A = this chain, B = another copy of it.
Amino acid sequence: MYRTFGYDGSPEACHVKLTRDEALHRIADVFRRVGYEGASLSELSRATGLGRASLYHHFPGGKEEMAREVFRWLGEVIASEFVAPLAASGRPRARLERWVEGVARIYAGGSKSCLLGAMVLGGGSEIFARELAEAFRAQLRALERLLVEAGANPAEARRRAENALGRIQGALVLGRGLQLPRHFRRVLAELPDELLARIQRPRE
């Protein structure tokens, strides 16, 4: 996978290798910015540096296949960046704090909106209903397990896990709508306390 720079005519710098993951990352970034419907092949071409025809070489199914590959890649990101810290060993609070750090890093402190949210509200929710639901559920399960481990009953754990994911999504929307990134940072900082309030085992 190569990326062509039109502004550089020198033979050795004319092409730069681009791994599939890097390309997918750039494609995901476009979907995140403008939603599935709003993403045009021209924009995806510009973002990757690959011509439209080259994109079809790598993703014969066009935009829909690109989005599916993005969801596959996103599944790995969620597993390694969100689920793994929650499922790690250590005290629940410490794991939640590491999770929150990852969330802040992935969303660039609130300045990047969520790919899932953009797909939900940007026209992809009919086509990718299954993928979207599974991406949210993977995070829900990990949060639920941690909260049960911290002493919550299953129903309360589920309730709090849903609330936490909803708060993150809402903070990204509201923070971007108000153009106040600090809103997202505040919500995130308060999440561990909120999730563990009045359910921690006395012995911990």
Chain A residues with a Cβ under 8 A of chain B:
33-38, 113, 116-118, 120-123, 125, 129, 132-133, 135-137, 140, 159, 162-163, 165-171, 173-174, 176-179, 183, 186-187
Contacts and interface: CB of A to CB of B under 8 A. Distances in A.
Contacts of A133: 177-179
Nearest to A173: B169
B183 A166 contact: yes
B166 A116 contact: no
B174 A169 contact: yes
B123 A176 contact: no
A174 B168 CA distance: 10
Nearest to A187: B166
Closest 8 CB pairs of A and B: A170-B170, A37-B38, A166-B170, A169-B170, A38-B123, A169-B173, A121-B121, A34-B123
A162 B186 CA distance: 10
A177 B35 contact: no
Nearest to A32: B121
A158 to B, nearest CB: 10
B173 A166 contact: yes
Given A170-B165, A171-B170, A176 B35 contact: no
B35 A123 contact: yes
Nearest to A179: B133
Nearest to A121: B121
A163 B137 contact: no
A121 B173 contact: yes
B35 A122 contact: yes
Contacts of A165: 170, 174
Contacts of A35: 35, 37-38, 121-123
Given A132-B177, A168-B170, 9 more contacts: A116-B177, A120-B176, A120-B177, A133-B179, A136-B174, A159-B186, A166-B183, A169-B170, A170-B171
